[in-house]
Amino acid sequence: MINEFLFVHKILVYIFLAFLVGGLAIPYMVSDALKFKKASFIYTMTFQGLATMVAFAGLVLLYAGHLSWDIFSIAMVLVWGVMMFIEIKKHRLIKYANLTHDETFKLLKGGFSKISILQIMILLAMIAIMALKSSGVLSV
């Protein structure tokens, strides 16, 4: 049973990673400010849904598997919180910005890309840490 929960969590993490990588295309595909706001809104809502599914699957794995709250589990919860915080801040910035100015629009498109890359790097780091833990290299 634990292996099935772990598999579902792992698949959800990879789907989330693919979503983040796909989200890098948004600033390049959208050239209109209003469409960029809408695309950013849809991206943020999907981001939050997928991130919550990953977190829920992980918590179910922890409790159903009677696993302990080790440093890695706590780190995963913290990473989830940081990524949600960053995404919400990014969305609020885009939502309330005056995108009628070209410079502001270009700045926010660049910021969207940079924040997406940062989120991908955070997720990849957590995946690498958990892969090292599962292979036995890291242990606490």
- Place 121 in a pLDDT band, splitting at 50, 70 and 90: very high
Interval 18-71: pLDDT, tens: 999 999 999 999 888 889 999 999 999 999 999 999 999 999 988 887 778 888
Ramachandran class of 138: left when φ > 0, alpha when ψ lies in -120 to 50, beta otherwise = beta
- Residue 110 per-residue DSSP state: H
Interval 1-33: pLDDT, tens: 788 888 999 999 999 999 999 999 999 998 888
Please report, for the chain, the start and end positions of each structural domain, with discontinuous segments joined by +.
Answer: 2-133
